[in-house]
Structure 1
Amino acid sequence: MELLAEYGLFLAKIATVVVAIAIVVTLIVNVAQRKKQHKGELRVTNLSEEYKEMQEEVAVAFLEPHEQKAWHKEQKKKRKQEAKEAKARAKRGERAAPGKSKVYVLDFKGSMDAHEVGSLREEVTAVLAVAKPQDEVLVRLESPGGVVHGYGLAASQLQRLRERNIPLTVAVDKVAASGGYMMACVANKIVAAPFAILGSIGVVAQIPNFNRLLKRNDIDIELHTAGQYKRTLTLLGENTDEGREKFREDLNETHQLFKAFVHEMRPSLDIDAVATGEHWYGIQAKEKGLVDEVSTSDDLLLTLMKQHDVVSIRFAQRKKLMDRFTGSAAKSAEGVLLRLWQRGQKPLL
């Protein structure tokens, strides 16, 4: 028994040391993260070069083994010569000749709360810092909409490009509805896949009320407010006709703002005809004037690569350790909520 007691004490000491080390390591990591000024990093990828490499890789695959060997040898020699010439130009103080104009590609896959706007803000700022007058921006957009203030801010980020006279194209392969379309309509040109979903220029809100259930169980709810319309509809209290009317007024006001914004961005639209809350597929959306061209983003990129250098700009946010564990569960829950909503509702703002 004495031996077991000593062994248990030894294990307890070891566990204490391990826990202490873990705490120290965690503190060091947290301090290091706090010292970093940025909450993420900007990733730049040359999509034109990637496509060119893919072309070459496929072409070489059809060559005979001895031909492949000769091709790789020639490419190695060519790259070595190019590097030598670049080094010589640098020594002479010569600047490289200006290349093709650039197309900066941003990706926005929006959630209901539009939290991705944080990354979009950084990406737009990065583009504005380097873009030349001849450059363009392509946003590959996918979103069924969400909260008004979130998507309003996202649309405002794209407006920064438009205000600087940088040609902006939005490509929609799957869905840009409601808040998603609020973003898309900022573009000078909207391109949509044939069966992409667009439109849903409307506002929707629903709220459950448990007041009758609480009354049946003799549970009272007290709600105190300062301001006549501080609360219109509630989850637990008894809703009034006056509160319902005010709630509907607020929805209508938001809808009018939405319509005015879309009409300002695309004045040729018959706004009253398309702002019914309905959504349309790409081909139908073109007939309605909601989009300018029917095509996939892939074909659009291939066309742009013929005359431009196409570069992807992506701001990757650093996640805290706890967020890495909880983020996946939150994303799954959001997906379930969105699917349940969309079974009976159109994409929402």
Structure 2
Amino acid sequence: MWADYFLFLLKAITVLVVVVLVLMIVIRSAKEGHEPARGKLVIARLNRALDAVRLRMQQETLSKKGFKKTLKSVKEEQKKLDKVESDRPKAYALKFKGDIQASQVEALRQEVTAILTTAKEGEEVIITIESPGGSVSGYGLAASQLLRLKDKGLKLTACVDQVAASGGYMMACVADRILAAPFSIVGSIGVLSQVPNIHRFLKRFDVDVDVLTAGKHKAPITFMGENTEEGKQKHVDDLNAIHQRFKALVKLHREELNIDDVSEGDFWLAEDALQRKLVDELMTSDSYLMSLCESTDVYRVRWQPHKSLEQRIKGASAAIMAVVENRLWQRRLP
């Protein structure tokens, strides 16, 4: 009897704890929807990371006696450096991995603001950009964030390891210097708009769609309404206006290139882009940062956004599914 009662009590307490936890998560999630973007700033000194890699390689490649001697000298040197403030110049490294909506622009804003709180005029910021382009407003804002650095007298270097096209190149072109890996893709200075239209499909089933607007040019083309030639031409005119602004931005920051030869939406491998003066040098970001670490203290600055309840649940679900799939796959092996 007492055993059954104790088991019932444990079950009741467990259910109560689960209910309380669920309520706490729901309340916290509701609060998150009314709060400004939250997260944390993660800063790592690349020089130390490189030193750790070097020591690990030396541990494997040197004799025990040789490695002990090296380790001792490294520790003594580090003690000396810890006692005095470094007089070496400082640089800051950023990464931007773009998507269609330029969703990382919020993190970029936080990172740029953090750098501007301590960076001194003449110091360098290196941003590695990987993006095929996307939203005009999103990438326009991202380029404007980079201009904040230049406005404060900081040197800006853009690195392209894989692709910086369209909006990605819009960001890269504002830099003082662009470095690109030989087989990276750059360019695509153009504007694209794709609007599917199902008006004829709806007409086939006698479905009418009324598109009501106030203003002649409020919606020149629509998804379900009938698009006129006049409306299509207005949309093209709008795209041309954006294209002209894009070209003007590139020309402003890359005065040496012939803008008319590179602004028809074409893209090039970096070697060809170098000939057209779209980039300044062929080099990977890894090579540049490693060489910079020899004479400069380089700090990686990264804004890590706070994950919402939905993101945490998706992450946990993905992790569980990965474990389950891995277990099932292991069982299939002979």
TM-score, normalised with respect to structure 2: 0.85
Residue of 187, 192, 199 corresponding to 2:187: 199
In structure 2, what is the equivalent of residue 47 of structure 1?
46
In structure 2, what is the equivalent of residue 323 of structure 1?
311
Contact 1:101–1:134 at 8 Å: present in 2 too? no
Amino acid at match of 1:203: V
Contact 1:40–1:316 at 8 Å: present in 2 too? yes
In structure 2, what is the equivalent of residue 89 of structure 1?
none
Deviation at 1:61, TM superposition (A): 1.7
Residue of 224, 240, 249 corresponding to 1:236: 224
The percent of aligned pairs where both chains have the same amino acid is 42
* 1:150 matched to 2:150: no
Deviation at 1:306, TM superposition (A): 1.9
* 1:287 matched to 2:286: no
The verdict on how the C-alpha distance between 1:296 and 1:147 changes in structure 2, with shifts beyond 3 A counting, is: same
The verdict on how the C-alpha distance between 1:291 and 1:328 changes in structure 2, with shifts beyond 3 A counting, is: farther
In structure 1, what is the equivalent of residue 173 of structure 2?
185
* 1:64 matched to 2:63: yes
Distance in 1, matches of 2:79 and 2:234, equals 73
The verdict on how the C-alpha distance between 1:75 and 1:11 changes in structure 2, with shifts beyond 3 A counting, is: closer
Deviation at 1:45, TM superposition (A): 0.5
In structure 1, what is the equivalent of residue 115 of structure 2?
127
TM-score, normalised with respect to structure 1: 0.81
In structure 2, what is the equivalent of residue 335 of structure 1?
none
**Aligned to 1:127, what secondary structure does the other structure show?**
helix
In structure 2, what is the equivalent of residue 103 of structure 1?
91
* 1:261 matched to 2:249: yes
The verdict on how the C-alpha distance between 1:65 and 1:135 changes in structure 2, with shifts beyond 3 A counting, is: same
Contact 2:122–2:153 at 8 Å: present in 1 too? no
Distance in 2, matches of 1:215 and 1:15, equals 59
Give 5+ residue unaligned stretches, structure 1. Answer: 1-8, 87-95, 330-349
Contact 1:168–1:188 at 8 Å: present in 2 too? yes
Deviation at 1:132, TM superposition (A): 1.6
Deviation at 1:52, TM superposition (A): 1.6
Deviation at 1:318, TM superposition (A): 0.7
Amino acid at match of 2:302: R
Contact 2:189–2:246 at 8 Å: present in 1 too? yes
The verdict on how the C-alpha distance between 1:57 and 1:208 changes in structure 2, with shifts beyond 3 A counting, is: same
**Aligned to 1:140, what secondary structure does the other structure show?**
strand
In structure 1, what is the equivalent of residue 159 of structure 2?
171
Amino acid at match of 1:145: G
Deviations 1:58-87 (A, max 9, x none): 1232222344455546655x379549x83x
Distance in 2, matches of 1:272 and 1:157, equals 27
* 1:313 matched to 2:313: no
In structure 2, what is the equivalent of residue 336 of structure 1?
none
Deviation at 1:323, TM superposition (A): 2.4
Deviation at 1:38, TM superposition (A): 6.1
Aligned residues: 311
Distance in 1, matches of 2:15 and 2:286, equals 56
Q: Which moved more, 1:318-327 or 1:24-33?
A: 24-33
Give 5+ residue unaligned stretches, structure 2. Answer: 1-7, 318-334
In structure 1, what is the equivalent of residue 321 of structure 2?
none
Contact 2:178–2:279 at 8 Å: present in 1 too? yes
Amino acid at match of 2:265: G
Distance in 2, matches of 1:37 and 1:241, equals 44
The verdict on how the C-alpha distance between 1:38 and 1:117 changes in structure 2, with shifts beyond 3 A counting, is: closer
**Aligned to 2:128, what secondary structure does the other structure show?**
strand
In structure 1, what is the equivalent of residue 125 of structure 2?
137
Distance in 2, matches of 1:178 and 1:272, equals 15
**Aligned to 1:242, what secondary structure does the other structure show?**
helix
In structure 2, what is the equivalent of residue 112 of structure 1?
100
Contact 2:25–2:309 at 8 Å: present in 1 too? no
Q: CA RMSD in A?
A: 2.9
**Aligned to 1:100, what secondary structure does the other structure show?**
coil
